[in-house]
């Protein structure tokens, strides 16, 4: 059986394609750099992160973007030997406005090189490039309307894209205003048996989320709605293990079967409905009815936690190593930095071989120049261990292990210096932007310090040690729900990360050397 989610942890807005016998999924990365994560599979069951195409500032400038801004809902497509990737960079998302810019990049191979971006429009997000069988190309995206007494989600629009001129041309057409489910977004377009099928996300990305199918005989419509919409949702099943199901993308296998990937969330079992792992990607088989509509192969509208294996030949990948010894010249594909690329001015794998050196910069609340490198938390039960050498001389210098949602909500086990305590460990908590230091300060000697975080569903416990063998608990048990996208009803879209960081608020860039990083999942 295939166990959902297939892409665990923060991996939302999946856009799937097949190129011959290879399957690729692109997912959103928001404020994390490099932009867009592309995953690879041969069998739809076994997946591995493959590449992150937006890897330079000339393609993607995230400095200063708000949390849960940046990359929204990328879409992959392939035509005549070229890969196309559409992406949105949301630079402002507060209030009634959405300041955003839509681009497209291309590559001859999924591994690149990916081109410089072509600007498309700024009218709305979630754009998708459809390649018609007559050679013409059309861009679809939702339209944002900020005006008083207007629907913010103002329908799906379409405009032709001319690759020779590298721009949109012709009339902008409103092709659907969606259904009574509202919040229509995430358009994906497919052509089958002479019909154009439009798959949209509706209801918002929370508990009312859904996916709805429409069709037309012309690419510009009019589009009729599936009479039994929505196609998938958990809006009426609040105890389902895969909540917030919607925002789908379709693929046909080389054997002629159809599958849909879609967003979902797995809440903590404490009844809070909070999902610190963020929005994940799951898979369902779908079948066509005689009337030409899609239905879940298992029946009903709710996704399955387990589905039968595909008929494709299983091709598993080697498991990722638990330990990163920082022996390579580049960071692995699992690592992300916050808003800015990793460069030798603040992150080095060569100044001290087999160590990750971070030079302290701005605070954990900065939207500009943080020295933070982190990876997704993908399991409710996991342990993270690192070893750091760091000798701060002032309270303005800090380094350590951070469990991070955003600048407002994080837990930080950090080494710093105090006038009375000298070098010491403490836990910093930011809860909805309220700074606190827990009343646990532990003086530590010069030299190496081992730091550990253990997550067990809703509980997080920090530990420290001086020899890497014996551990002392550090501070109280902390609540993992603080690292969820809907904590205190805030509207955010990412997931919990665990990472290494350093700050130097004096501006002297004192460095911290991390010897290794262990990430071990105890149960998926």
In the chain, the domains with their CATH numbers are 2-307 (2.115.10.20), 323-523 (2.60.120.200)
Catalytic residue among 13, 324, 383, 409: 13
The pLDDT profile of the chain, 524 residues, written as one tens digit per residue, is: 999 999 999 999 999 999 999 999 999 999 999 999 999 999 999 999 999 999 999 999 999 999 999 999 999 999 999 999 999 999 999 889 999 999 999 999 999 999 999 999 999 999 999 999 999 999 999 999 999 999 999 999 999 999 999 999 999 999 999 999 999 999 999 999 999 999 999 999 999 999 999 999 999 999 999 999 999 999 999 999 999 999 999 999 999 999 999 999 999 999 999 999 999 999 999 999 999 999 999 999 999 999 999 999 999 999 999 999 999 999 999 999 999 999 999 999 999 999 999 999 999 999 999 999 999 999 999 999 999 999 999 999 999 999 999 999 999 999 999 999 999 999 999 999 999 999 899 999 999 999 999 999 999 999 999 999 999 999 999 999 999 999 999 999 999 999 999 999 999 999 999 999 999 999 75
Residue in this structure with the two tokens 């103002």, named with its chain if needed: 154
Query: What pLDDT is stored for residue 523 in this prediction?
Result: 79
The full 3-state SS of 472-523, as one line of letters, equals EEEEEEEEHHHHCCCHHHCCCCCCCEEEEEEEECCCCCCEEEEEEEEEEEEE
Measured CA to CA, the distance from residue 424 to residue 320 in angstroms comes to 33
**Strand pairing category for 306-307 and 323-324:** unpaired
Residue in this structure with the two tokens 């358009």, named with its chain if needed: 187
Active site residue 132: no
Query: What pLDDT is stored for residue 524 in this prediction?
Result: 52
Residue 420 buriedness (CB in 10 A; 0-12 / 13-18 / 19+): exposed
Active site residue 185: yes
Q: By the 8 A CB rule, do 7 and 25 touch? A: yes
Measured CA to CA, the distance from residue 268 to residue 115 in angstroms comes to 41
Structure tokens given for 353? 């071989």
Those residues with Cβ within 8 angstroms of residue 192's Cβ, 6 or more apart along the chain or in another chain = 288
Catalytic residue among 31, 126, 160, 185: 185
């Amino acid at each position: 059986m295939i166990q959902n989610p297939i892409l665990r942890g923060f991996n939302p807005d999946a856009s799937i394609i097949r190129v011959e016998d290879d399957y690729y999924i692109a997912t959103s990365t928001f404020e994390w750099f490099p932009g867009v994560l592309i995953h690879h599979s041969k069998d739809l069951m076994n997946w591995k992160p493959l590449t992150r195409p937006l890897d330079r500032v000339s393609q993607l400038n995230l400095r200063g973007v708000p949390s849960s801004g940046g990359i929204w809902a990328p879409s992959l497509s392939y035509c005549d030997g070229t890969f196309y990737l559409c992406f949105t960079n949301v630079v402002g998302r507060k209030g009634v406005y959405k300041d955003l810019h839509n681009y497209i990049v291309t590559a001859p191979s999924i591994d690149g090189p990916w081109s410089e971006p072509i600007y498309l429009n700024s009218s709305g997000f979630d754009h998708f490039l459809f390649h018609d069988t007559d050679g013409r190309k059309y861009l679809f995206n939702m339209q944002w309307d900020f005006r008083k007494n207007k629907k913010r989600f103002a329908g799906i629009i379409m405009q032709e894209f001319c690759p020779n001129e590298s721009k949109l041309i012709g009339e902008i057409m409103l092709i659907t205003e969606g259904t009574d489910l509202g919040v229509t977004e995430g358009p994906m377009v497919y052509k089958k048996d002479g019909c154009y099928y439009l798959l949209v996300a509706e209801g918002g990305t929370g508990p009312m989320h859904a996916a709805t199918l429409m069709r037309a005989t012309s690419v510009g419509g009019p589009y009729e709605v599936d009479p039994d919409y929505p196609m998938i949702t958990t809006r009426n099943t609040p105890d389902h293990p895969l909540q917030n199901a919607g925002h789908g993308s379709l693929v046909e296998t080389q054997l002629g079967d159809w599958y849909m990937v879609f967003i979902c969330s797995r809440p903590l079992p404490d009844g809070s409905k909070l999902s610190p792992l963020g929005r994940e990607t799951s898979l369902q088989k779908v079948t066509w009815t005689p009337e030409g509509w899609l239905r879940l192969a298992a029946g009903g509208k709710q996704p399955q936690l387990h589905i039968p294996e595909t008929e494709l030949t299983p091709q598993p990948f080697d498991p990722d190593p638990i330990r990163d010894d920082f022996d390579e010249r580049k960071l692995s594909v699992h690592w992300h930095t916050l808003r800015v690329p990793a460069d030798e001015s603040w992150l080095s794998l060569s100044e001290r071989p087999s160590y990750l050196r971070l030079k302290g910069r701005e605070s954990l609340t900065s939207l500009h120049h943080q020295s933070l490198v982190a990876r997704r938390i993908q399991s409710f039960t996991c342990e993270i261990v690192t070893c750091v050498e760091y000798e701060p001389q002032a309270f303005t210098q800090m380094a350590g292990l951070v469990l991070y949602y955003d600048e407002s909500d994080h837990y930080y086990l950090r080494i710093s210096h105090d006038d009375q305590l000298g070098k010491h460990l403490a836990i910093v908590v930011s809860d909805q932007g309220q700074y606190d230091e827990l009343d646990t300060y532990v003086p530590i000697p010069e030299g190496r310090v081992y730091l550990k975080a253990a997550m067990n569903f809703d509980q997080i416990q920090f530990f420290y040690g001086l020899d890497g063998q014996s551990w002392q608990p550090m501070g109280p048990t902390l609540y993992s729900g603080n690292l969820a996208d809907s904590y205190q009803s805030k509207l955010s879209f990412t997931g919990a990360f665990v990472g290494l960081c350093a700050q130097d608020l004096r501006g002297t860039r004192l460095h911290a050397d991390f010897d290794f990083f262990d990430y071990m999942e105890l149960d998926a």
